[in-house]
Amino acid sequence: MKKGFIIYLCLLFPLLASAESEPSENVVIEELTEYVRLIPDKSGTGIKEIKNSTQYIFRANRSADKALAMAYYDDDISIDKASGGSVTYSAFIGDEFFSDSKACFVTVSLPKKGATAKVSVKRTYKKPEFMGKLLIYQIYDIEKAVVKIEIPECLSHRYRPKPRNMPEGKYTVEEELRGDRRIVTYTLADLKKNRRFADAPSINVTAPQILLLGHFADTDDLYRYLLGYIPTDDPGAATVTAKAKEITSECRTDAERIRAVNDFVHATIRYLAVEHGEFGHRPDLASEVLRKRFGDCKGSALLTRNMLRALGIDARLVWIGTPEVGTDWSTVPNISSGNHMITAVMLPSDSIIFLDGTARYSSPDNPPAALAGREAMIEDTPDHCIIRRLPPCAPHRNVRSEHITLTVEGDRLLAKSTQYRSGTFNSFIQQLADEYPPGLRQEFYERTFCSAMPGSKPENVICTTAADSTILSGTATIHAAIKNAGSTSYVDPAIATRIESLKFDMTDRLSDGIIGFPAILRCTVHLEVPDNMSLGELPPDCDIENEWLTGAVTGSQAADGHSVTRSLVITIKKTDVPNKMMKEYNADLARLIDACSSNIVLKTL
């Protein structure tokens, strides 16, 4: 589904930065000015187009440098003029995503300390509904930002700007009438660029922004617009019906038929998006997706719906936003509130099954964790939709469990392990495995198996996969795993490696954090004590509990003294950690990591 200018802005900024190295700390934007003008149509009741002018004043603070400005455009957004520096144009290229998305780059020189330069970019939104929000964010610090929204008086009853994520105490709003135009001005000060962290919410969610409301009267109005892109006639519909009946010929219940269709789409339809112009919102015909064996989220959703309907099952299209969107349909009825399409199955019990045709290793009873809690716009009548929120993701849906038995042999450990993954963990490992040629897949499984035992060399690793789970089992040798000091030996069970990645890097951090997804992590290490040794010291137990997770590491010795067990269990309950709470969160986790890092001490008899 076409994400619109703001989504690509967030995609291209990291690409831009990585291509040129990190943006210079030496360069700041002295003043950023955004001017947005709504141009009415002939009737005076709607918008013909939107004019957007962006002006940058760059400054070099310490030494000579270069500055870079960027503006997104496509078939529906034109670059009218770019000036002030060297102008280049580039298309957005991806392995699976081909669209009309492009970027205009303007590079300007700042020849000495204190030098300033002005860059200007003017654009026209030929489809005004595609401008649902304006992000006030750049790859440099902004000392002052001024955003002006000009709304003709004839449209002021319908269209209104709505600020979001504005910095407290650092912005003002002024509104004035100039003849037949209403101008709303937002002035912001001291906007710091945010160091990018992989575990932070999308800039599209957190950055200061102005929403432009009024393109659609309400959610139903937006729904009718989006539904208008869905093809109602498919000349090849008979082939879709025939395939649906073929793959479900041995199914006895609707539940089996739903799973069979879901599995078929996952197994045979490759994700490949060609989204030029209106095809950003208009799916390919279901019969064409079936024939070509590829499609984007819209095509997979439409094929799934039509196959299920051919079997007499009430399936509907669903428009939804991933966590990168940040707004709901019901509060912000704009195109920018969604970027994905899936399918819903309406059950007689008034419950709903959600199917994501692009999430290959998701199942009808376990949709992708990224969609959990998101607001869905579900197809209903031609005029009205159903708004329903997907259920939250329960931790037990995503389990990573490892059982390791260690045997001492000199200064090394022989390990026998069984590792289980379900839910999102299962999806990750199977999707990664799919990227390897069959001949290299075993090597990938062995590396994954050994990641639970740092420094190990694998032997006899077997991977068993199912639709909802992956099990790795095998043996490994961990060399130089035991430190000897006289008659004392120190064994590190390496449990801490499972949770070290859950800590947040606080260096120059302004953003909040996200702990992946709700999950349960389990690790049990069973150490066989040699006959000539005894337990000298068992590390202390430790448990933590806070708003986001609970965790405990415990230890025990068998009654006969021949084995020691260390077990770790962590339940991730809530994933959003505010920046102001990260220090407390990290401190709790550090206590658990320290306990997990403690060695088991053995004594030679």
Q: Nearest Cα to 223, choosing from 345, 378, 4, 352?
A: 378
Confidence of residue 6 (pLDDT cuts 50, 70, 90): very low
Q: Nearest Cα to 85, choosing from 18, 44, 46, 27?
A: 27
Question: Per the structure block, which two tokens stand in for 159?
Answer: 């269209």
The contacts of residue 111 (CB under 8 Å, 6+ apart) are: 64
DSSP code of residue 468? S
Does position 21 have pLDDT exceeding 50, yes or no? no
Strand partners, 568: 523, 553
Strand partners, 563: 528
pTM comes to 0.90
The answer to whether 530 and 578 are in contact (CB under 8 A) is no
**373 vs 434: CA distance, rounded Å:** 28
Give the CATH class of 224-392: alpha beta
Give the lowest-confidence range in 194-203, 231-240, 336-345, 451-460: 194-203
Confidence of residue 575 (pLDDT cuts 50, 70, 90): very high
**593 vs 595: CA distance, rounded Å:** 5
- Which amino acid type is present at position 378? I
* β-pairing verdict for 97-110 and 273-275: parallel
Q: Nearest Cα to 147, choosing from 159, 162, 157?
A: 162
Which of the pair, 498 or 283, is modelled with greater confidence? 283
The answer to whether 419 and 473 are in contact (CB under 8 A) is yes
> What is the architecture, at CATH level 2, of domain 5-215?
Sandwich (2.60)
Does position 400 have pLDDT exceeding 60, yes or no? yes
* pLDDT score for 277: 62
Q: What is the pLDDT of residues 269-305, one digit of tens each?
A: 998 876 666 667 889 999 999 999 999 999 999 999 9
The answer to whether 421 and 398 are in contact (CB under 8 A) is no
Spell out the domain ranges in the chain.
5-215, 224-392, 396-604
* pLDDT score for 18: 37
Q: What is the pLDDT of residues 403-413, one digit of tens each?
A: 999 999 988 99
Confidence of residue 541 (pLDDT cuts 50, 70, 90): very high
Segment 120-143 mean pLDDT: 95
DSSP states of 34-76: EEEEEEE-TTSSSEEEEEEEEEEEEEESSS-EEEEEEEEEBTT
Q: What is the pLDDT of residues 402-454, one digit of tens each?
A: 999 999 998 899 999 999 999 999 999 999 999 999 999 999 999 999 998 98
Angle at 448 between CA 447 and CA 451, to 5 degrees: 85
CATH fold group of domain 396-604: Jelly Rolls (2.60.120)
Query: What is the phi/psi pair of residue 224, to 5°?
Result: -60, -35
Does position 592 have pLDDT exceeding 50, yes or no? yes
Element (H, E) at 438: helix 438-450
**Contacts by 457-465 with C-beta closer than 8 Å and gap 24+?**
463/433, 465/430
Does position 20 have pLDDT exceeding 50, yes or no? no
Angle at 548 between CA 544 and CA 550, to 5 degrees: 30
